[in-house]
Structure 1
């Protein structure tokens, strides 16, 4: 009888270690999934900040292009626009640099936002198709979640392009 009892005790130990290993593997797998979900949610948060920056940048440019059309250079008003003008967005003054070519003009500015986020905005006015004396305007806003000079592997950039 003593031999039978020893065999049953060994089985219990084997069964307990098997169940323990299974629970440990399940716990590690769950922890791994949680870590990936946290990383994904962090990426989504950074992407949202970059998209918000891009959206704010193009809205600022569009507003000033509609309310103050002489603030951004075109090839037809090249004599009246200085190389640098100032606009106001988010309660701050922002310098706008302009360059001109024969049939187009490009104005650029960087709009800082909360934290390290910013938007680099390029406004291009093209008069190549000058049949009706109206220039085509393209606003390209590139929002970044981190505009600091430090190397950041989690830097995210989102862009919006509007043509009218």
Structure 2
């Protein structure tokens, strides 16, 4: 059953603040709360099958997560396309898989994006690395200038 969210955009912050740079997704959502972004915010340790139904309520979905990839500029913001790729070795699902499930099960395909913020340290410790702090600040600047404005105008 589809119900309306408060806003037209949902943002998933994925991560774990107890594992250093893996907490970048949650820290980014903490920042977004201070911006009054006209978006619904969801904290996740990992994406689950149930999230495929949740995104039925939104026109736009943004996934924010730390990445081990060398992004070149410390982060990337790119379109997220549905993919049925999944792994039997983990219970966590990729954003692309969640979109595939939403499309396959509910015949719905929202606009979707991934903000990947490059991290460097992943041990059991609270606090992000100095390099990750630089990267999240770059991502915040980009998001304020390019994404939040668009979401306010469309919500």
**TM-score (ref. length: structure 1):** 0.26
Larger Cα-atom Rg: 1
Larger RCO: 1 or 2 (CA < 8 Å, sep 6+)? 2
Q: TM-score, normalised by structure 2?
A: 0.27
Is the strand fraction higher in 1 or 2? 1
